[in-house]
Amino acid sequence: MNGKNKLLWFFLFVSAFVFFPRVSFAMHISEGILPLKWALFWFVLAVPFLYLGLVRLRRLTESSSQAIPMVGLVGSAVFIISCMPIPIPVAGSCSHPVGSGLAAIIIGPSLSVVVSSIALLLQALFLAHGGLSTLGANIFSMGVAGSFVAYGVFWLMVRVGFGWMAAAFMAGLLSDWATYAVTSLELSSALHGGSGAFGPMFVSILLAFAPTQVPLGILEGVLCAMAYAFVRARRFDLLGVFEKGGAT
């Protein structure tokens, strides 16, 4: 591939993403995109985090039978929030928040992985967003990366002394961008097709998502901060059930 070709495919790729607004759903890796070995690799990486979440859920259930309905219902709420269309001013289209950042700061990152895995399975099966063979990759990018980054940032900022509103904003923003970066990594590592092409593929996918994901991350941060502020102001007492049962 010569230099002119590189420039042109890059232009082609970026414009294609910008001009196909449906691809703003592309944080879900579609069924069939990943070859078998990469699909299994991301499943293997996601499983320990899912296990951690299930252990946490069991501990919570042992201390209160209210835990299952609470986690399930918050999961439904986050599923619905993640389907809400957000207008993206730069791309001229609507996209959807990831939601795992908000879930992580409300119910904790490991439970957020459990909820994300279920939401992703339901979305794959009944809404055709994502896929079954790509479920592991999607759980890792949205559930694991999104939740742990959000919770880590939130916890750190509150500890350092930032207000919880700023912390919730950064949690939403960085969880979205972490999901976006990990999805790009997953796609480029599986599809680069040979030596030397990983770098250009990764950069081109990052840049291709950028017109949607950079503003979407900022908007998700705002949404996350406002939703958290609302819950905190109205019924923060109800979140007490998630404090029981030990570690994250």
Partner 1 sequence: MTFELFSDIFTFRDNALRRLDPRVKVVVGLVAIFAVVSSQGVLFPALVFSLALMGMLLVGLPVAFMLGRFLAPLGTVLILFLLHAVLYGWTPLFSLPLFGQRVVIMQEGVLRGMHLACRVLGGFGIMVLLSSVTPSHQIFHALAYFKAPKGWLEVAMMMYRYIFVILESAADAMAAQRVRLGYCGLKRSLNSLGVLSGVVIVKSLEQAQRTHEAMLARGYKGHTPFGPMPALSPKDGWTLGLSLGVLIGLYLATEGWVFG
CB 140 within 8 A of CB 182: yes
**Minimal distance in Å, beta carbon 66 to partner 1?**
5
Please state, in angstroms and rounded to a whole number, the distance separating the CA atoms of residues 206 and 145: 16
**Minimal distance in Å, beta carbon 156 to partner 1?**
23
C-beta closer to partner 1: residue 145 or 168: 168
Identify residues 167-196 at the interface with partner 1 (CB under 8 A). Answer: 191, 193-194
Assess 90 for contact with partner 1 (CB under 8 A): no
Assess 210 for contact with partner 1 (CB under 8 A): no
C-beta closer to partner 1: residue 159 or 235: 235
Task: Tell which one of 49, 79, 140, 177 touches partner 1 (CB under 8 A).
Answer: 79
Please state, in angstroms and rounded to a whole number, the distance separating the CA atoms of residues 216 and 95: 7
C-beta closer to partner 1: residue 32 or 156: 32
Please state, in angstroms and rounded to a whole number, the distance separating the CA atoms of residues 98 and 26: 11
C-beta closer to partner 1: residue 156 or 246: 246
Q: Minimal CA–CA distance to 105: which of 234, 238, 239?
A: 239
* Measured CA angle at 220 (ends 148, 120), to 5 deg: 60
Query: Which letter does DSSP use for residue 86 in this model?
Result: E
**Minimal distance in Å, beta carbon 14 to partner 1?**
10
Assess 113 for contact with partner 1 (CB under 8 A): no
Assess 142 for contact with partner 1 (CB under 8 A): no
Could you tell me the two tokens for 179? 């999901």
Assess 243 for contact with partner 1 (CB under 8 A): no
The beta strand positions in the chain, using DSSP E, are: 86-88, 93-95
